[in-house]
Amino acid sequence: MSPSGTTSTGTHTQHIAIIGGGFCGILTLVNLLKIAKNPLHITLIHTEELLAKGIAYDTYSDQHVLNVEARNMSAFPDDPNHFVNWYKDSGLHSNGDTEQIPFHYLSRNIYGKYLQSIFKDALIHIPHHINLYFVHSEATDMQLEGDHFRISCRDGSSVLAHKVVLATGNHLPGHSALNGKDFLNSPKYFSNPWKEESVNDLDDSAPVFIIGTGLTMVDVVIGLQEKKFNNKIYALSPKGFNILAHRPHHPQREILDELAPPYEIEKLVQLFRKYVHKAWKHGESGETVVDAVRSKTQEIWQSLDLKDKQRFMSHVRHLWGVARHRLPAHIHNQVQDLITQGKLEILAGRIQDAFEEDGLVTLKIKRRKSQQEETIKVARVINCTGPQTDILKFDSLLFQNIIRKGYIFPDEMKLGVEANPDGRILQKDGKPSSQLFTLGTLLKGKLWESTAVPELRMQTKKLAELLLAI
């Protein structure tokens, strides 16, 4: 970085800036370092606090585990045993028997250490023809200047780059259940469920209320148990579905013989029902069908028209989510024990109102089946509805500025940005940009499956190749 506070590398050598230092940002960087054959400048812009881990793998609890077996968590698609081998050599496991490690659901903290080790190793082996710069700050704005983007950062520095990768990862959950409520500004409302403060400083005088019944809810419940919280926990979602456990099974790959374009949501639902019932007859679970089509989901999603995508989001998404995103058996058993004991209650319904009263939070809830309204008083409310996907609602100065300038647009489903599947962000004229790229969660609207390691590791590799080819 120059004394002026501007990172500039001239006009002859390509300069790529990556905004975000979580899984996608770091792996894009690592892949660039591996495959770039010509002189290259790279700048990584990210706050130092979460560098190489991101939100997902910087958890406060060692009981927050991966929801995928270790054997499927390699960061590199061409080296499937990379994570398992690293863990075996890391000295982090106490059990001398390493044969079962591939089948373990390891701590997310361990996976964060894994990503940090990849990052540190890459720094040690930077090729001589590549210059790597770091800006430990938040990107707040971008301005196109000729064939460069000028990226402004909160610390007053700026970066000039030919190409920019938006690898910003997950954003804080939205507030759809509480929109327009003064309660959003209450100290008893916690909008960030991934921070330890959401479960700190609680006594047992009143229950806790969680909005959402998915995997993030489970993390918070585990956190509350670690803090010895001994009152009731309520968790609410529109459907009130309970989470399933991973169970040994063989995916029903026979369904792939009948999966063929053109795809229509009604026919797909009928086909899924057929094979789910077939699974039940053989004493297996319906998740076998979901797992079987995992490799096809991006193709299917891209071929659906807008109406079918909307039908999926309205009628199928919740069921798909339950079947697709499952828990390790031991974590699932913990949750079910709490439900059996009456310490955790899963509710189906919607919040009608929320306000502070007499030192507690009063919630007005309308139950889904009965449509009856009831009142629940709790000590705090924790938002576990999952990351916000509508970029128009991001609490990010960078996104607010680049949306206003027309550099990015929401996709038609408001699940991310309008882009090509390869990560090239679309311009006003509908043409793919040769300067602005993205991957990961911001491609959810285009790919649907764009948040798990098996998909993300391929994206980072292919995006690195694309950045160097254009």
* pLDDT tens-place string over residues 402-446: 999 999 999 999 999 999 999 999 999 999 999 999 999 999 999
Question: Tokens standing for 202?
Answer: 């609680």
Q: What is the pLDDT of residue 280?
A: 87
**Contact, 232 vs 207, CB < 8 A?**
yes
Q: What is the pLDDT of residue 4?
A: 36
Report the mean per-residue pLDDT for the chain.
92
* Distance of alpha carbon 309 from alpha carbon 17, whole angstroms: 33
pLDDT grade for 5, boundaries at 50, 70 and 90: low
pTM for the model stands at: 0.93
Question: Tokens standing for 337?
Answer: 């024990």
Whether the predicted pLDDT of 59 surpasses 80: yes
Q: What is the pLDDT of residue 348?
A: 95
Can you tell me which residue has the tokens 């991957």? 439
* Range 118-128 burial, b when 16+ CB lie within 10 A, else e: bbeebeeeeee
* Candidate from 17-21, 60-64, 96-100 with smallest mean pLDDT: 96-100
Q: Give which of 190, 248, 169, 244 is closest to 214, Cα–Cα.
A: 244
Q: What is the pLDDT of residue 412?
A: 94
Is residue 77 reached through a cis peptide bond, with omega within 30 degrees of 0 on the bond before it?
A: no
SS (H, E, C) the chain: CCCCCEECCCCCCEEEEEECCCHHHHHHHHHHHHHCCCCEEEEEECCHHHCCCCCCCCCCCCCCECCCCHHHCCCCCCCCCHHHHHHHHHCCCCCCCCCCHHHCCCEHHHHHHHHHHHHHHHHHCCCCCEEEEEECCCEEEEEEECCEEEEEECCCCEEEECEEEECCCCCCECCHHHCCCHHHHCCCEECCCCCHHHCCCCCCCCCEEEECCCHHHHHHHHHHHHCCCCCCEEEEECCCCCCCECCCCCCCHHHHHCCCCCCCHHHHHHHHHHHHHHHHHCCCCCHHHHHHCHHHHHHHHHHCCHHHHHHHHHHHHHHHHHHHCCECHHHHHHHHHHHHCCCEEEEEEEEEEEEEECCEEEEEEEECCCCCEEEEEECEEEECCCECCCHHHCCCHHHHHHHHCCCCCECCCCCCECECCCCEEECCCCCEEEEEEECHHHHHHHHCCCCCHHHHHHHHHHHHHHHHHC
* Candidate from 257-261, 402-406, 466-470 with smallest mean pLDDT: 257-261
pLDDT in tens, 280-292: 888 888 888 999 9
Direct distance between the N- and C-terminal alpha carbons of the chain, in angstroms, rounded to an integer: 26
pLDDT in tens, 152-170: 999 999 999 999 999 999 9
Question: Tokens standing for 52?
Answer: 């190489």
Q: Give which of 434, 386, 436, 443 is closest to 410, Cα–Cα.
A: 443
Alpha carbon of residue 306 to chain centroid: 23
167 burial (CB, 10 Å; 0-12 / 13-18 / 19+) is: buried
* Domains and their CATH numbers in the chain: 6-171+389-469 (3.50.50.60), 176-244+327-383 (3.50.50.60), 253-324 (no CATH)
| CA angle, 218 then 455 then 286, to 5° | 55
| CA angle, 429 then 434 then 437, to 5° | 95
Q: What is the pLDDT of residue 2?
A: 35
User: Cα–Cα distances in Å, from 272 out to 2, 299, 314, 327, 410?
Assistant: 58, 16, 17, 22, 30
Q: Give which of 63, 18, 110 is closest to 221, Cα–Cα.
A: 63
Q: What is the pLDDT of residue 192?
A: 94
Question: Tokens standing for 345?
Answer: 């209650």
